[in-house]
Amino acid sequence: MIETDISRVIIQEYCKRLSEHLENDVVIVGAGPAGLAAAYYLAKAGIKTTIIEKKLSIGGGIWGGAAGYNVVTFEDKDILDEIGVTTNKQGKLYTADAIEFSAALAYKAKQAGAEIFNLTEAEDIVLKDETVQGIVVNNSAVRSLGLHVDPFCICAKYTIDATGHPAELVGMLKKSKPELFPQQLQEYFMNVETSEAGCVEKTGEVFPGLFIAGMAVCDVYNLPRMGPIFGGMLKSGKKVAELINEKI
């Protein structure tokens, strides 16, 4: 029956893709701008990359622009041109449509070969030989309902915490190793000039096997927050891809 044919090809293709991506070169947690940009550049370089995202849709904080005015800004537009996003010049800033930007980024990352599993949530880290070797994940709907269900694992040579402000993976590490991150994980007061540059500069490895990118960098290093300007996010994602690419 065609109904069960549809069901079967979906379940089997998903299962195959998931089984094939339990071990990866890189696993990225969070499909926001930094995570998607990192995935795009990693996959383009032929590196086996998986993103997990706890929400049903991807894009993180892009969709709403500022306070729901769905426009986003950039200080330059090289990466936007590369991924094919239309921009307008307004004074010294470039604007783009938030929806177009979000969709283009996801589309290009997928086309480059990155795998994305949505509705999937990191609940812990896999730590062996004092190295982060992947993440412990669960169905995010099951977790939201507080059901008592065990997780499974997605492993990787390198793990990127691209979870944004909460810096969730670093927070998990800190919970058992508070001495590693004595500071509060929080961003500092808004200051766009210093934040955009600092966020890219500090992008990198914070523990063997664990990299940070995007707003998680601001949380870990207490850098200023920046608001709806996304150039730093893209550059941070690109930089983390380059750093990992050099190590592989």
Q: Phi first, then psi: what are they for 170, rounded to 5°?
A: -60, -40
* Residues of this chain, 143-202, that bind a second copy according to CB under 8 A: 144-145, 147-155, 164, 172, 175-176, 184, 186, 188-193
We find the least distance from the C-beta atom of residue 138 to a second copy, in angstroms, to be 5
**222 binds a second copy, rule: CB under 8 A:** yes
Applying CB under 8 A, which part among 37-45, 137-145, 203-211, 240-248 lies near a second copy?
137-145
DSSP conformation letters of 91-134: TTEEEEEHHHHHHHHHHHHHHHT-EEE-SEEEEEEEEETTEEEE
Return d(Cα 223, Cα 198) in angstroms, integer.
Answer: 7
Q: Which of 80, 125, 199, 241 binds a second copy (CB under 8 A)?
A: 125
Q: What minimum distance in Å lies between the beta carbon of 106 and a second copy?
A: 4
Selected from 76, 95, 205, 245, the binder of a second copy by CB under 8 A is: 95
Using CB under 8 A, pick the residue from 45, 136, 197, 243 that binds a second copy. Answer: 136
The single-letter DSSP state of residue 230 is -
154, containing H or E segment: strand 152-161
Give the shortest CB-244-to-a second copy separation in angstroms.
Answer: 19
**Distance of closest approach, residue 130 Cβ to a second copy, in angstroms:** 10
* Pair 159, 131: CB distance under 8 Å: no
Of 240, 242, 227, the closest CA to residue 74 belongs to 227
Q: Which residues sit opposite 117 in a β-bridge?
A: 52
Q: How far is the CB of 112 from a second copy (least distance, A)?
A: 11
**Which residues 37-66 are close enough to bind a second copy by CB under 8 A?**
56-61, 63-66
The residue with tokens 């921009």 is 87
Note whether 81 binds a second copy by CB under 8 A: no
The one among 46, 78, 81, 84 contacting a second copy by CB under 8 A:
84
* Sign of the dihedral defined by the CA atoms of residues 104, 106, 109, 111, in that order: negative
Nearer to a second copy, 97 or 242 (CB): 97
C-alpha gyration radius of the chain: 18
User: DSSP label at 77?
Assistant: -
- For residues 201 and 149, the answer to whether their CB atoms sit within 8 Å is no
Site for a second copy in 3-42 (CB under 8 A): 3-15, 17-19, 22-23
Choose, by CB under 8 A, the member of 78, 88, 208, 248 that binds a second copy.
88
At its nearest, how many Å lie between a second copy and the CB of residue 207?
11
Site for a second copy contains 106 (CB under 8 A): yes
Interior/surface letters 172-204, b for 16+ CB within 10 angstroms, e for the rest: bbbeeeeeebeeebebeeeebeebbebbbebbe
* Residue (47 or 134) nearer to a second copy, CB: 134
Pick 61 or 239: Cβ nearer a second copy: 61
